[in-house]
Amino acid sequence: MSKGKILVIDDEDIVLKSCHRALTPEGYDVKTAKSGVEGLKMLENEPFNVALIDVKMPDMDGMEVLKKIKERWPDVAVIIITGYSAIATAVSSIKLGAFDYIEKPFTPDGILSVIKKALGQ
């Protein structure tokens, strides 16, 4: 039985693969999307408990994806992931409804810890 459904939205294959490798063995059902548009389409078709979203993506930035998720699926816990550490981005994402914010590069234990907190585990 799955501990929760996680959607990872990032334009970098290495991040998608890393999240999948870190979370799947822990019992999470992990799906990935390479763009904000693709991720939002996936949310329309199936429920997710948590969305991990990169800030910098070519088609739609993570802050816009965060806004759309919170408008349409307010119960989805959103965790912003970025390689561009900025206090302003962290504050903005939390004000827009993000559960938390994690910087790249992150460790498997780091991402797992944030996911568990988001799911109340």
Domain positions in the chain = 5-118
Count how many Cα atoms sit within 13 Å of the Cα of residue 92 in the half-sphere of its side chain.
Answer: 11
Angle at 23 between CA 9 and CA 15, to 5 degrees: 40
- Domain 5-118 falls in which CATH fold? Rossmann fold (3.40.50)
In tens digits, the chain (121 residues) has pLDDT values of 679 999 999 999 999 999 999 999 999 999 999 999 999 999 999 999 999 999 989 889 999 999 999 999 999 999 998 776 667 777 788 889 999 988 888 899 999 999 999 999 8
pLDDT given at position 66:
96
Peptide bond into 105 cis (omega under 30): yes
pLDDT score recorded for residue 91: 77
Helix (H) or strand (E) holding 29: strand 29-33
| pTM score, whole prediction | 0.93
pLDDT of residue 1: 67
Tokens of 60: 């739609």
Of 27, 8, 5, nearest in space to 79 by CA: 8
